[in-house]
Chains A and B, each alone.
Chain A
């Protein structure tokens, strides 16, 4: 089972990882795993488990281009992020790192701490009380990148960018 971590709207990348905790400022970049939401939600990093899901309000990841924000989320094993609207640089960065992002508003359907099962292939969430929530499938060119594990493996495998005709 995956735990749901619920966040509000307009979560910016300074809230995900403040610039003061950038790899640039750290002795060892692997320390980054200690800092997702270090100030915004200090209970997140110590308690998040691989496969857990972030459910957030609109405009998730707005602000800076820092890829270390989604990288920190990948380091702790976040399994998916679900929000009604993603800021575009964050969305690209998450896609590039292979973190599945689904565009849907589940902030009214799931509560913080809910235990759910996420079926990425089917785009389906099953709650502990048996409710089934279907996630809208992302466009094919995005699914291809996720399937490859991120943009680098995608590019190395296909020698082209997403959306280009093979």
Chain B
């Protein structure tokens, strides 16, 4: 019986397909972001000779990678993208401030269960949070999909990450995903899809944490069965008891400690308690991986009524305008601001090291994002540690890498 990838790719290929098959498939939705749009537009028109996208309704353009523009060049290129969107009659343009493509396409109902969604961003595995097959591709592949409505791919084998039990206090989806990266390593799921089982208790954006980090293990897609989300789509994939998997990895959530990915590789993961004292200059809460409302709420719970440690900056960049609005409406935002954090425009922010919090040589950043590669957020001499929003907030309180369980639930913060 088929895996979720086989179920979805059989639908879009128009015939039953199995892992290993090379198929041409109809694409349900193509996402293009500002960073690569100018190049994609050039390939579409000049190299492929196509005048129009195949279906403007099935294209979404998001200005999130440098939003708002940081220079005259980026402003001009965004202007060019907006003109192109109008000329092509594409209805779905999400402009500066609407947020990061991945949560936005989910919030807008464009990303649906059972779809094949291609994005010009590697974290397009994100769409697995609604049970879609989401995959990142480069500019030429995206231009071909825009021209033809089709793509080609090899149907992936599937690796299952099976979670058991429930998260303990101060531990969450980021810790699960980093634990999986620690076990599978950065190349462990290359050419494969990951299915995340046993995580039905998570909200759709918490599921996005798992889906986005799937690419950090090399996966082509990272799919969570859309159980409990009350979503409709062209196909609702289900976990088949008889599906054939390449590998099954079991993780006991109840035993999970806060996980931290140390510089400069995402799979360089350790239990926080094994890392010793790491002083931090900046705490950055944001990205498609952990800039969601839920992430800001966890941080606010820890920071409520307290102040950041002296000398520590905390930058919060909500993943979307909806997340920001919700945080503003229920007091989460006020709590973060009162603690001394500051807020940036919803979008990718400093994740790609272009603006809104670029790091200096020697600086240490506790980052809730998805990549700690050398130079990712600015100087190649900076150090990036990846961890959960709870670890981020606890670390902001003390100024050094801190287990959130030591500062939560009314326990005093010990200054050292």
Contacts and interface: CB of A to CB of B under 8 A. Distances in A.
A10 B24 contact: no
B216 to A, nearest CB: 8
B231 to A, nearest CB: 26
A141 B354 CA distance: 38
A160 B24 contact: yes
Contacts of B157: none
A14 B369 CA distance: 15
B48 A163 contact: no
A24 B152 contact: no
A36 to B, nearest CB: 14
Given A20-B354, A25-B354, A67-B138, A85 B24 contact: no
B140 interface: yes
Interface residues of B, number: 51
Given A12-B373, A89-B122, A65 B38 contact: no
B140 A25 contact: no
Interface in A33-79: 39-40, 58-59, 62-68, 70
Nearest to B71: A25
A24 B38 contact: yes
B150 A161 contact: yes
A125 to B, nearest CB: 24
B24 A163 contact: yes
Contact of A93 (B138, B218, B352, B371): B138
Contacts of B151: 161
Contacts of B152: 161-164
B109 interface: no
A151 B140 contact: yes
Interface string B356-386: 0000000000000001011110101000000
Contacts of A131: none
B21 to A, nearest CB: 9
Given A14-B375, A24-B74, A65 B353 contact: no
A40 B352 CA distance: 16
Contact of A66 (B36, B48, B71): B36
Given A14-B376, A85-B190, A96 B73 contact: no
B373 A24 contact: no
Interface in B177-193: 186-187, 190-191
A90 B107 CA distance: 29
A124 interface: no
Interface in A1-46: 10, 12, 14-15, 18-20, 22-27, 39-40
B144 A155 contact: yes
Interface in A135-160: 141, 150-152, 155-156, 160
B375 A15 contact: yes
Contacts of A39: 374-375, 380
B191 A141 contact: no
Contacts of B122: 63-65, 89
A11 to B, nearest CB: 10
A110 interface: no
A161 B46 CA distance: 19
A88 interface: yes
A62 B186 contact: yes
A152 B146 CA distance: 13
Contacts of A26: 73
B208 interface: no
Given A89-B138, A92-B138, A63 B35 contact: no
A27 B220 CA distance: 33
Contact of B35 (A22, A93, A152): A22
A15 B71 CA distance: 23
Contact of B187 (A10, A23, A25, A161): A10
Given A23-B38, A23-B39, A161-B151, A152 B47 contact: yes
Interface in B132-182: 136-141, 144, 150-152, 154
A159 to B, nearest CB: 10
Contacts of A62: 186-187, 218
A87 interface: yes
A152 B354 contact: no
Contacts of B141: 92-93, 96, 151
Contacts of A59: 186-187, 190, 218
A88 B221 CA distance: 11
B4 to A, nearest CB: 18
Contacts of B22: 141, 162-163
Given A14-B376, A24-B34, A161-B152, A19 B352 contact: yes
A63 B371 contact: yes
A97 interface: yes
Contacts of B343: none
B129 interface: no
Contacts of A27: 73
Closest 3 pairs between A and B when the two form their complex, measured CB to CB: A163-B22, A67-B138, A161-B152
Interface of A: 10, 12, 14-15, 18-20, 22-27, 39-40, 58-59, 62-68, 70, 85-89, 92-93, 96-97, 141, 150-152, 155-156, 160-164
6 contacts: A19-B352, A65-B122, A65-B137, A85-B190, A89-B122, A155-B48
